[in-house]
Structure 1
Amino acid sequence: MTYIAIIGDIISSKKIEQRPEVQKKLQRILEEINTYYASVITSPFTITTGDEFQALLLPNSIVFKIIDTISMQFQPYQIRFGIGLGSILTDINPQQSIGADGPAYWQARSAINYIHDKNDYGINHLAVSLDDSNMTEYINAVLSACEFIKSKWTTSQYEILEGLLKEGIYEEKFSHKNMAQLLGLSPSSFNKRLKSSGLKIYLRNKKLASDLLLKAFEKKKGEVKNDQS
């Protein structure tokens, strides 16, 4: 069976003051994620060291929503995320993501290494790694564009995505009026802030990246089926 493996790595963790408190904050966030998104989580988000955590998910269309939710809640600290797609060779622990191993995690680790090697001057914190090198390149190009857009946001622009996530929204079509009210803004002020953020392009590209990842999964599933027949 093919899974999505996620490895998260806190950026510059050794420079963080009050690291125990920050690690507790991360633990609380991951526990909430594990509960809220339990339907797509096979092995829950688990802190494996003081600086890293990982999880194993069923292939799904909300993986980038999950990652952005973690990132938003963990501010002002930053995390790099590596996503891998593949099988697991060991037993899977449904209680914690420790001990499992296989191509899915190897690919996620490869994605983390990719970010270390090519982080676009510290802007890029998200990458995937797949068996299909062309698809990997396509998805990472889309994700890099998203990361560039996000790197230009002000605090007030971040608040728009944070507000959308709190409402369970992760797509470019949403009620401007409702979000303006949620953020305590006039419609004109909200639209001005939204337009300058490029958020709709960001969400459109995240949808594209998700679609491409699922396409890669379907291709891999077909290859496995053919090998078994």
Structure 2
Amino acid sequence: MKEYVIIMADIINSRDENQAALMLAFKKLVSDVNESRKDILVSPLTITLGDEFQGVMDRIEDAVKVIFDLEEAIIKNGSDFKLRYVVVEGLIETPINKEIAYGMLGDGLTRARKYLENLKKEDLRFFFWLKDQQQKNALINVFTAFQDIVDDWNPERDFYLVTAFLAFGDYKRVAMELQKERSLMWKRKKNLKINAYFALKEVANYIGGTHA
């Protein structure tokens, strides 16, 4: 039996949203990330319940990459929903299904399911359970800070601007692309904490790859 890295996530407060539009956006999100990250997904992100998915990878750093891909795709798509994630390092005792992350059994999957249920009682959107406790705690801390930044962004007011900063970085380039005043873009970059976002992303990828 081999240990894998399992990711599970669900939509927060999905029952409060327009179900048809929400499910369409959710399915597109999962499909797009599956296509762009098929090289690192041992078993693809698979919607197991209406508002939940799971997937399997070999490495922790791959799970971190997938989380950032999902979070940034939500912003770029202008979607008004948030995901709650758990990443667990653990055993899968049945053969890996490389076509769909369904019908597999093991302690890692059981543990991930339990942690996802427990996370619904917390304010946090990200939880890790890894063999290396220091690595686990470091990732939880980084993503706690990450959540504090991105959850302050308003989909209607901020997402288009964040998308531009993710694409171009420099406020002068963003001002040119969006035909906005440079001074305004400088202020918005500072208020949106874009530099802190990029710093946390770099640190999360470093910690995730520490023991890869």
Query: Into which bin does the TM-score normalised by the smaller protein fall?
Result: 0.7 to 0.9
Q: CA deviation at 1:82?
A: 1.4
* 2:70 alignment counterpart: 67
Q: Is the 8 A contact 1:114 1:127 kept in 2?
A: no
Query: What value does the CA root-mean-square deviation take over the aligned residues?
Result: 2.5
Distance change (3 Å), C-alpha of 1:184 and 1:2: farther
Q: TM-score, normalised by structure 2?
A: 0.82
Q: TM-score, normalised by structure 1?
A: 0.77
Distance change (3 Å), C-alpha of 1:2 and 1:158: farther
Q: CA deviation at 1:9?
A: 0.7
Q: CA deviation at 1:12?
A: 1.4
Q: Is the 8 A contact 2:78 2:159 kept in 1?
A: no
Q: Is the 8 A contact 2:10 2:84 kept in 1?
A: yes
Secondary structure of 1:39's counterpart equals coil
Distance change (3 Å), C-alpha of 1:87 and 1:152: same
Q: Residue 102 of structure 2 aligns to which amino acid in structure 1?
A: I
Identity of matched residues, %: 22
Give the number of equivalent residue pairs: 206
Determine the C-alpha separation between the residues in 1 that align with 2:182 and 2:4.
Answer: 42
Q: CA deviation at 1:114?
A: 4.7
* 1:91 alignment counterpart: 95
Determine the C-alpha separation between the residues in 1 that align with 2:117 and 2:179.
Answer: 41
Greater RCO structure (CA 8 Å; 6+ sep):
2
* 2:209 alignment counterpart: 214
Secondary structure of 1:163's counterpart equals helix
Q: CA deviation at 1:143?
A: 1.0
* 1:176 alignment counterpart: 171
Structure 2 unmatched runs, 5+ = none
Determine the C-alpha separation between the residues in 2 that align with 1:202 and 1:145.
Answer: 9
Secondary structure of 2:30's counterpart equals helix
Q: CA deviation at 1:133?
A: 3.2
